[in-house]
Amino acid sequence: MREIYLDNSATTRVLREAADAAYSAMTESYGNPSSLHKKGIEAENIMNSARREVADALGIDPAGLYFTSGGTEANNLAVIGGALAKKRRGNRVVVSAYEHDSVMKSAKFLEENGFEVTYIRPDENGVITPEAIFAAVDEKTVLVSVMTVNNEVGAINPVAKLAAAAKRKNPEVLFHTDAVQAFCKLPLRGEKLGVDMITVTAHKIGGPKGVGALWIKKGVRVIARNLGGEQEKQIRSGTEALPLIAAFGVAAKISCTALPEFEHRMEELEHRLISGIEHEHGVVLNSKPNALPAIVNISVLGIRSEIMLHYLEERGIFVSSGSACAKGEKSHVLRAMGYPPERVDSALRISFGRENTPQDVDELLEAIKSAQKELCR
């Protein structure tokens, strides 16, 4: 049976070149980057090269890029570490109501430790507006976190305008954006966004799981969550995962170089899918216009998500019901967007990657038609 993988927002197949870089770092350049001898210096050079490649892809200064174990750790460090570092200035934090769980639970942690958290719902177009940010921020607000692209519906937030609105209201506020779903999928020049911290990760762009990064603007202070050695300027102590970092650098360079072609292909696939479901009774589009083409969220009304997932899986088609990190929990994203329970309970996220083809979309549409005939009786 042919496999059709349409869950690329959960993770991607590792690029061969990235896997080769990881293998080389494990078997040849295997020194500890902190060691002072030749093997250590060789490893450190590989790590610094990867840091430059990720930084170049993101459009930021590599000196402010810190490697982590992934997007979750980077978000925890930014939100909790950033807020705690500014605690003397205030105790308020603002986040969007449809952030990734790693931001939502960081906000919850802060609430349990004396902070007030304001959650901003997206507007009718599925985005967070500058007006909403401006209204929410006050003199006691120390941090704002809004994702660049929503991981479930693909909504693209105007991050530069949001950061400007927040800092116009309170110049001292820190602004963090989770750019995990935007990195190498949208043209990003991080230092022009006007933000203080940016989260990215490797496994959404053809790199391995287990490595991500947080960019911190020069002069911004965060309180470290990992305590230990001198690695990553003590922002993230612990021996660096050199094989994963090396692979991350290669994946970032290849994926961001191929971005124009990727964007064009994703637009074609999105158009094909949306055109197909427009003619299907009982299938509705949850993603809003102008969303990231690589993410399309739909609901097949009358069929619960988990039933539809298994039906498609039996036919070699792999999609998700939302964020993989939620492990099947009902989407807080769709609820924040105001969708009724019947749409939330039947939601599917289709996310395209570099290997997907128009034939994949056609076979998905046929499978949805079959499911409606067989399961909606």
Digit-coded pLDDT (tens) for 191-246: 899 999 999 999 999 999 999 999 999 999 999 887 766 666 667 767 788 999 99
Domain ranges within the chain, ordered by starting residue = 4-13+259-375
Classify 348 as helix, strand or coil.
Answer: strand
Contacts of 168 (CB under 8 A, 6+ apart): 134
Q: What is the mean pLDDT of the chain?
A: 93
* Contact indicator for 141, 93 with CB cutoff of 8 Å: yes
Nearest in space to 98 (alpha carbons), one of 165, 147, 160: 147
pLDDT at 124 over 90: no
Whole-Å CA distances, 148 to 182, 218, 246, 286: 6, 21, 25, 18
For the segment 303-361, what is each residue's pLDDT rounded down to a tens digit?
999 999 999 999 999 999 865 444 556 788 898 888 889 999 999 999 999 999 999 99
CATH topology classification for 4-13+259-375: Aspartate Aminotransferase, domain 1 (3.90.1150)
pLDDT score recorded for residue 237? 60
Nearest in space to 309 (alpha carbons), one of 279, 346, 276: 346
State the Cα–Cα distance between residues 103 and 176, nearest whole angstrom: 10
State the Cα–Cα distance between residues 205 and 207, nearest whole angstrom: 6
143: part of which helix (H) or strand (E)?
strand 141-145
Span 44-67, mean pLDDT?
A: 96
Least confident stretch, 39-48, 125-134, 262-271: 39-48
Span 16-38, mean pLDDT?
A: 91
Which residues belong to the active site?
Answer: 325
pLDDT score recorded for residue 316? 97
Nearest in space to 294 (alpha carbons), one of 32, 6, 3, 100: 6
Nearest in space to 188 (alpha carbons), one of 228, 148, 133, 131: 148
How much of the chain, in percent, has pLDDT values that exceed 90?
81
Residue 162: pLDDT band (50, 70, 90) is: very high
Least confident stretch, 37-46, 74-83, 296-305: 37-46
Span 243-254, mean pLDDT?
A: 98
Q: What is the model's pTM?
A: 0.94
Classify 312 as helix, strand or coil.
Answer: helix
